[in-house]
Chain A
């Protein structure tokens, strides 16, 4: 766990030094705060980043200017920090902005950090819609690791109710198939 602590300490220092503002962990690492651990190579750090409209990856020069002289290498769109590939991503649409603003404080071995809420992670996964994202939604459901009322409100606000209904049908279909195979 030392790798993760080291990485988060660097990110916190970046925040303290004014390089980034409020941040929240998303993706697989954030999901691990609520469900079982899964394999991933990177830590997704979502930040407010006003200067990159339309940009998929937050790769502003000031991130490079801060990290490279301190010995952290840039690999593609990642920075290698504490053994992890750290990706800084802009919270650019309404769902990501809300997820960032409403992220919750957490602690990892004494290091303070901020993590997206379970309901936002589910909504983002539904919106992204890759197989691995839907698998993650299924894990949240399986573990009852979310507040249904909260989730429904988020899904309504961000026009994701239809995707949720489709997902539930798929889940139902899968469960029926498992039942029939017994």
Chain B
């Protein structure tokens, strides 16, 4: 641990001693990368897919539920007998019509 921390500190001091032009170039890249991540669609609010797992089987309930906005990005869940199915990480609240 001591060696790791010492190595990290040395690297950071090296970065601190770079010419300002190099550091500003790094900052511009970090800024662009942050913007790209912030603009990624996975961070947007997604419509929850009307999908329910019943006894291990996926059931699409498009005719039964209304769409809801969910706060979390979609994730891919693997079921043993199904291809990857995009759905929301949050538990869906089913609203019957």
Q: Does A68 contact B (CB under 8 A)?
A: no
In chain A, what residue has the closest Cβ to B4?
Answer: A182
A142 touches B30 (CB 8 A): no
| B64 CB within 8 Å of chain A | no
What is the interface of chain A, defined by CB distance below 8 A to chain B?
A: 1, 3-4, 28-29, 32-41, 83-84, 106, 108-109, 139, 142-143, 145, 178, 181-182
Taking CB as reference atom, which chain A residue is nearest B3? A182
Asked whether, in the complex, the Cβ of B12 is within 8 Å of the Cβ of A33, the reply is no
Main secondary structure of the interface of A (DSSP, over half): loop
Residue of A nearest to B5 (CB): A178
Given the interface contacts A3-B28, A39-B30, A83-B28, does A32 sit within 8 Å of B1 by beta carbon? Answer: no
| Interface residues in B, total, Cβ within 8 A | 21
**New A-B pairs, 18, CB < 8 Å, besides A32-B23, A106-B20, A108-B20:** A4-B27, A28-B27, A33-B20, A36-B12, A36-B13, A36-B15, A37-B27, A37-B30, A38-B30, A40-B27, A40-B30, A41-B34, A83-B31, A108-B21, A139-B12, A142-B12, A178-B5, A181-B1
* Chain B positions 14-33 with a Cβ under 8 Å from a chain A Cβ: 15-16, 18, 20-21, 23-28, 30-31
CB pair B34 A37 closer than 8 Å:
no
1/0 per residue, CB under 8 A from A, across B53-89: the answer is 0000000000000000000000000000000000000
Among residues of B, the one whose C-beta sits closest to the C-beta of A181 is: B1
On chain B, the residues within 8 Å of A83 by CB distance are: 28, 31
Contact between A32 and B27 (Cβ–Cβ < 8 Å)? yes
Q: Can you name the residue of chain B whose Cβ is closest to the Cβ of A2? A: B28
Residue B97 interfacial (CB < 8 Å): no
B7 to chain A, nearest CB (A): 14
Contacts of A182 in B (CB 8 A): 1-2
Q: With A83-B28, A108-B24 given, is the CB distance from A37 to B15 under 8 Å?
A: yes
Q: Tell which of A29, A33, A39, A108 has the most Cβ of chain B within 10 Å.
A: A39
- CA separation between A145 and B9, bound complex, in Å? 14
Which one of B16, B24, B26, B35 contacts A35 once the chains associate, using CB atoms below 8 Å? B16
